Every structure is written in structure tokens, then in C-alpha cells.
């Protein structure tokens, strides 16, 4: 079997077009404020892409760059300013933050009505209770890609690798809401290959390059690779390349469908961020 490749870039492009159309039809001007502390190169790329995508969708975007030595109080002051700015509908503080800053304190300071990342305890709690909330972007995008392949998820066995607050836990909640039988695995899980081989849907979000081997994948399974790992490109000495958490070539032999890296979940994360920002603006305008 050779897996169908799920084209996240194409799905994300369509979603961004739909968002742009809705923004125009509802006469909204959603505003997204992104805060970047420090100079992490990967974060700089993400932040630039987010700003560009927002503007292409008819939104306003602001990037607030703060030096790596920024204190927690200085960042809290920035968050407060954005909470009080009526033109700002979405606030995203790029993670990870420098070590002198407690990211949970920063996340908790964001107005939950502007928390387009869906990381605030109010939104995380509401997701847990299956109440309306801002759904974290990578899990939301992952679910859209799964549904591109399979609409009827009820009773499917889903295995999530990773238990982070950003991906593992929320994607498990969404799979549960879709009536999957969900297993969350992590670094202390016993017999991980065996757990994975039981999965009709396998979501890898552990941040280890090519960690999931081909024979961990059940024949016909849907494989969603959330990993974005930069490694040396052995074919091009001195160059690097992006790979996922799944050994793509080996897994493609077994899987029914698989997301590539790059071009899979990554573009969906940004599209869902725009969706959440639009939703925030629409709610404030009373047209949600």
C-alpha cells in the first residue's frame, strides 16, 4: 500500500480563502497581535508567516518584538495593553519564552476572549467540558485534516503520542468529542510500538525526528505528523532540512493516508489561528 498524502498546504489555502470571504462579507477588521520575546530563529519565521497570512486575509496584524532579557512584568504590561486595545481581537505570545518568564502566568493574563491560541485555563477547561471555546490551532488543524480522509470517526481507535498542553492533550479531547476511543501515550508508556500499531488514527506530537517507525503503523491508518524538526541534510552537506516525528517514507508503505512535513499540519496551524481571530472579531461585533 502507498499512502494518500494529505495536502495540508492546499486545505489551508482553501480555509484561508473562506476566512477572507467571511471577513469581507461580515465587514470585519479582525486584529491579531503577536508578541515575540527574544530572537529564536524558528519563532521569527513562524511569526513572520502569521503576520503575512493575517494581512492576506483582510486582517490587521501587529508584531511586538521584545528583547530576550524582557522581564515577566514587562511582558505582563504588554499583554495588559493588548487586552485593553479595542482594535486587537487576538493575542498570541509566541512560545517558548525565555527562562526568566513563567509562561503559565503570561497565558493566564491574556483576556480569554482574545486568547486565539486557546491556551488560557478558561479555554482549556471549556474544551475539556465540550463547551464553546477557542480551540488550539494545531489540534484544530489536525482534526480538519483527519476529516479530509474520514468523516465517520465514531469508534475509531486514536493514539496520540505526546501529552503537551499545546497539542497532545487538546487533540485527544477533540478526538474524544468525535467519539474516538483515545489513548494518550508519552515517554513513560510501555510497549509504545504495540500501542501505535493498534491505532486507526495516529497523531505524533513528541518533537523527535523520525521517531515513529514504519512498522508501528497499522495498515490503512491515518497518520498525522505534528512534528517540525530541523536536522542536518545528509544528502546536502552543510544544509539542514525539516522532518516530522514520523519516518515518512517507511510509514507511507503502511498508512492509508499521511501528512507530509513540511506542507501538512504546519500550514493548518496558521489558518486556524486566523479562523480563531475572525471568530473573536465576529463575536465582539455580534455577528458570530
Q: Indicate which residues carry an active-site annotation.
A: 50, 94, 117
Strands 240-243 and 229-232: antiparallel
Q: Which stretch binds ligand GUN (CB under 6 A): 87-95, 170-178, 192-200, 232-240?
A: 87-95
205 in contact with ligand GUN (CB under 6 A): no
Nearest CB to ligand GUN, comparing residues 47 and 153: 47
Question: Hey, which residues between 173 and 202 contact ligand GUN (CB under 6 A)?
Answer: none
Residues 6+ apart with CB under 8 A from 268: 8, 11, 12, 15, 137, 138, 140, 141, 142, 144, 145
Helix 8-25 × helix 41-56 angle, to 10°:
50
* Residue 88 in the binding site for ligand GUN (CB under 6 A): no
Distance separating alpha carbons of residues 45 and 226, to the nearest angstrom: 17
Q: Which of 137, 160, 270, 274 binds ligand GUN (CB under 6 A)?
A: 137
Measured from the CB of residue 138, what is the shortest distance to ligand GUN in angstroms? Answer: 6
Does 109 bind ligand GUN (CB under 6 A)? Our answer is no
Interface pick for ligand GUN out of 115, 117, 195, 247 (rule CB under 6 A)? 117
Binds ligand GUN by CB under 6 A, chosen from 61, 123, 138, 252: 138
C-alpha cell, 96: 517558548
What is the distance between the alpha carbons of residues 15 and 52, in angstroms, rounded to a whole number?
A: 15
- Reference 171, options 195, 143, 147; nearest CA is 143
User: How many Cα atoms are found within 13 Å in the side-chain-facing hemisphere of 44?
Assistant: 8
Binding letters toward ligand GUN, positions 264-283, x by CB under 6 A: -----x--------------
Do residues 276 and 134 lie in contact, with contact meaning Cβ atoms separated by under 8 Å?
Answer: yes
**Among the listed residues 9, 20, 95, 285, the single contact to ligand GUN using CB under 6 A:** 95
Which residues contact ligand GUN (rule: CB under 6 A)?
Answer: 92-95, 117, 137-138, 166, 269
Amino acid at each position: 500500500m502507498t499512502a494518500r498524502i494529505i495536502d495540508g498546504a492546499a486545505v489551508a489555502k482553501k480555509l484561508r480563502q473562506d476566512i477572507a470571504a467571511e471577513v469581507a462579507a461580515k465587514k470585519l477588521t479582525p486584529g491579531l497581535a503577536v508578541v515575540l520575546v527574544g530572537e529564536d530563529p524558528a519563532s521569527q519565521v513562524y511569526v513572520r508567516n502569521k503576520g503575512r497570512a493575517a494581512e492576506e486575509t483582510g486582517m490587521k496584524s501587529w508584531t511586538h518584538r521584545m528583547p530576550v532579557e524582557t522581564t515577566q512584568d514587562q511582558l505582563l504590561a504588554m499583554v495588559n495593553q493588548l487586552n485593553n486595545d479595542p482594535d486587537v481581537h487576538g493575542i498570541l505570545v509566541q512560545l517558548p519564552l525565555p527562562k526568566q518568564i513563567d509562561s503559565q502566568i503570561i497565558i493566564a493574563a491574556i483576556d480569554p476572549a482574545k486568547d486565539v491560541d486557546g491556551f488560557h485555563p478558561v479555554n482549556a477547561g471549556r474544551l475539556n467540558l465540550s463547551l464553546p471555546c477557542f480551540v488550539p490551532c494545531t489540534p484544530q488543524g489536525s482534526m480538519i485534516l483527519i476529516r479530509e480522509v474520514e468523516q465517520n470517526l465514531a469508534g475509531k481507535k486514536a493514539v496520540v503520542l505526546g501529552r503537551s498542553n499545546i497539542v497532545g492533550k487538546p487533540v485527544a479531547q477533540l478526538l474524544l468529542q468525535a467519539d474516538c476511543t483515545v489513548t494518550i501515550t508519552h515517554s513513560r508508556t510501555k510497549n509504545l510500538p504495540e500501542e501505535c500499531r493498534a491505532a486507526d488514527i495516529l497523531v505524533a506530537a513528541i518533537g523527535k525526528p523520525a521517531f515513529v517507525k514504519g512498522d508501528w503503523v497499522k495498515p490503512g491508518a491515518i497518520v498525522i505528523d505534528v512534528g517540525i524538526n530541523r536536522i542536518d541534510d545528509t544528502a546536502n552537506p552543510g544544509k539542514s532540512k525539516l522532518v516530522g516525528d514520523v519516518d515518512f517514507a517507511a510509514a507511507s508503505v503502511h498508512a492509508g493516508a499521511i501528512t507530509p512535513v513540511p506542507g501538512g499540519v504546519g500550514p493548518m496551524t496558521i489558518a486556524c489561528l486566523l479562523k480563531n481571530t475572525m471568530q473573536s472579531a465576529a463575536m465582539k461585533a455580534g455577528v458570530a
